């Protein structure tokens, strides 16, 4: 929590300084906007050992504080599903041989504030983006597993928790049509700040299989509109 507060304070100080700069030049560009994007989310690290590629979407409301600089508030939604073959491999590593038929949808709802810094070059405006905030998470588990021919039903459970997180990446705006519209493309690395494992399955012997620190790369494409 201290780390995320430090990140947010740093972002606030930077944006305050840039807003003073923007008051001198680029004040005519102070506009509100909205951007809506969606695409695949690729698990990374230990998270990829249990979950398949997911889908993600993000809506952000930016405010231009200087030429090429905007701050934004955003909310997203990502969805992943556990891979039963990966679960089986994880259990086998603990000395247990069994097959699983587990349904474990994993939902992540990021609530973030961030900053975009772009360079306007002709009709392509590349940008750097950084954000920090909280990831609200939900894991639902149900199904069964079979060990030595004996099938055991897993009681349905729902777990909810939240963690501090950040995202960093690169993107580009491609203006088109009437003034204000642009294609918005980016790729971001998303990560929580600490690991808070939640149980997916408790085998008859060995350790529980738990979620891992969520880290994934999102590749998003969508539309952006800036209001006059």
DSSP for 188-209? EEEEESS----EEE--SSSPPE
Structural domain including 111 reads: 2-226
> Which tops the pLDDT comparison, 219 or 19?
219
Count of domains forming the chain? 1
Q: Which two tokens stand for residue 224?
A: 């952006």
Which has the closest alpha carbon to 223: 53, 57, 80?
57
Q: List all residues 6 or more positions away from 11 whose beta carbon is below 8 Å from its beta carbon.
A: 71, 113, 114, 115, 130, 132
pTM of the model: 0.81
Buried/exposed 185-197: b ≥16 CB within 10 Å, e otherwise = bbebebbbbeeee
Average pLDDT over residues 85-104: 75
Q: What digits encode the pLDDT tens for the residues 104-158?
A: 899 999 999 999 999 988 789 999 999 999 999 998 989 988 877 788 888 898 9
Q: What digits encode the pLDDT tens for the residues 23-66?
A: 433 344 558 999 999 999 999 988 888 899 999 999 999 999 98
pLDDT for residue 24: 36
Range with the largest mean pLDDT of 14-18, 94-98, 128-132, 160-164: 128-132
Residue 188, pLDDT above cutoff 80: yes
Residue 203, pLDDT above cutoff 80: no
CATH label of the domain that carries residue 88: 2.40.160.20
SS3 8: helix
Q: Which two tokens stand for residue 1?
A: 């929590």
Residue 19, pLDDT above cutoff 80: no
Which has the closest alpha carbon to 129: 182, 173, 188, 180?
188
């Amino acid at each position: 929590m201290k780390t995320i507060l430090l990140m947010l304070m740093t972002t606030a100080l930077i944006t305050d300084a840039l807003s003073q700069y923007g008051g001198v030049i680029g004040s005519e560009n102070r506009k509100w906007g909205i951007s809506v994007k969606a695409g695949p989310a690729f698990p990374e690290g230990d998270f990829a050992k249990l979950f398949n590629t997911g889908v993600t979407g993000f809506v952000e409301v930016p405010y231009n504080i200087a030429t090429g600089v905007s701050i934004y508030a955003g909310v997203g939604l990502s969805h992943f599903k556990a891979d039963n073959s990966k679960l089986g491999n994880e259990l086998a590593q603990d000395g247990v041989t069994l097959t699983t038929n587990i349904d474990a949808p994993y939902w992540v709802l990021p609530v973030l504030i961030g900053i975009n810094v772009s360079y306007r070059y002709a009709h392509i405006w590349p940008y750097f983006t950084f954000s920090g905030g909280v990831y609200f998470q939900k894991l639902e588990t149900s199904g069964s597993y079979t060990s030595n021919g004996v099938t055991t039903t897993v009681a349905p459970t729902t777990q909810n928790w939240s963690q501090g997180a950040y995202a960093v990446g690169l993107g580009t705006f491609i203006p088109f049509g009437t003034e204000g519209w642009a294609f918005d493309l980016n790729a971001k690395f998303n990560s929580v700040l600490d690991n808070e494992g939640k149980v997916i399955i408790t085998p008859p012997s060995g350790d529980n299989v738990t979620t891992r620190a969520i880290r994934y790369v999102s590749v998003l494409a969508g539309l952006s509109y800036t209001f006059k």
